[in-house]
Amino acid sequence: MKIKKIFKEINKGLRIEYDNRVEPIEAYLVDTGLVDSCVINYTKNGLEKIYMDVKDKYFLKPNDIIIATIPSSTTAHVGYCSSIEDKVIIKKNLIILRNPFDNNKYNLEFIAEYLENYGIKDYYDNVKKNKEALTIEDVEDIDIPEIDITKQEELIKAIHPINERSRLYNKLIQNDMEIKKYLMNEVIYNEE
C-alpha cells in the first residue's frame, strides 16, 4: 500500500529563519545527521533559541516517522518517535509522516524500519535512479508491504530492544563527550 494511503499528514520540516521581534523559544532541532537506523538523537547538539513563531505541525510528536530527503551511503535516515518529553523542531531536510488513517493495519515502527532498511533504498534503486533529493510526492508513492499486523508486531518486538540499546549507546557516547570536554576545559583554563 502506498504511503499516501496510510498517512493523513505528510509534511516537510521547518525552514529556520530568525526574527528578533519574536520572543525566543528553546527547543532541540533535528535534522538528517541526527537520525540514523530508526533512532532520533535530537539532544546531540543541545537546546537552541529559536526566534520565530513555530506552528505545531513542525514539532516532533509521538508516533511520528521522519525521513531525510537525502539518504547517505550507510543509512536512509528514517526515524521513529516512540515518545518525547522535550520541544523538538523538525527541520526542512526531513519529511514527516503523521496520523495514520487506520491504526489497526500497520505498526508505525514497522513502517519506519521497512523504510530505513528497504523502502528508501529500493525507491532509489528502482524508481528515482538520479539520486536527487526525495520530495513529498516521491515518499507518498513508496509502497509498504501489506503484512498481517500480528507479524509486524512480532518483528518489532524483536527489533525494539536493539533500537533501545542504540538510543542508550548514543546517550552514553554524548555524555562521555561532555565529560571529556569538561575535563579538557578544567585542565586548559584552570592551569596557571
What is the average pLDDT across 89-99? 94
What is the average pLDDT across 157-178? 83
Strand, helix or coil for residue 166: helix
Mean pLDDT is lowest, of 19-28, 38-47, 135-144, for 38-47
What is the average pLDDT across 116-140? 85
Residue 192 has pLDDT above 70, yes or no: no
CA dihedral 146, 36, 122, 133 (to 10 degrees): 120
Q: Quickly tell me which residue has 584552570 as its cell.
A: 190
Q: Is residue 46 left, alpha or beta, with left meaning phi > 0 and alpha meaning psi from -120 to 50? A: left
Q: Rounded to whole angstroms, what are the CA distances from 132 to 75, 129, 140, 142, 187?
A: 16, 8, 16, 16, 47
Helices (H) then strands (E): counts for the chain: 4, 9
In the chain, what is the straight-line distance between the N-terminal and C-terminal CA atoms, in Å? Answer: 67
C-alpha 50/C-alpha 90 separation (Å) is 12
**Cβ within 8 Å of residue 165, ≥6 positions away:** none
Give the best-scoring range by mean pLDDT among 72-81, 142-151, 173-182: 142-151
pLDDT, the chain, mean: 88
pLDDT range class, residue 22, cuts 50, 70, 90: confident
Digit-coded pLDDT (tens) for 118-129: 888 888 878 876
Strand, helix or coil for residue 13: coil
Q: Specify the pLDDT at position 125.
A: 79
44 or 31, higher pLDDT: 31
Q: Specify the pLDDT at position 46.
A: 84
Domain range annotation of the chain: 3-190
Mean pLDDT is lowest, of 49-63, 92-106, 173-187, for 173-187
Q: Specify the pLDDT at position 96.
A: 95
C-alpha 125/C-alpha 146 separation (Å) is 21
Q: Is residue 38 left, alpha or beta, with left meaning phi > 0 and alpha meaning psi from -120 to 50? A: left
User: Sheet containing 94-100: which strands, arranged edge to edge?
Assistant: 7-12, 94-100, 65-68, 78-80
**Fold that domain 3-190 belongs to in CATH:** Adenine-n6-DNA-methyltransferase TaqI; Chain A, domain 2 (3.90.220)
C-alpha 8/C-alpha 37 separation (Å) is 24
Q: Specify the pLDDT at position 149.
A: 94
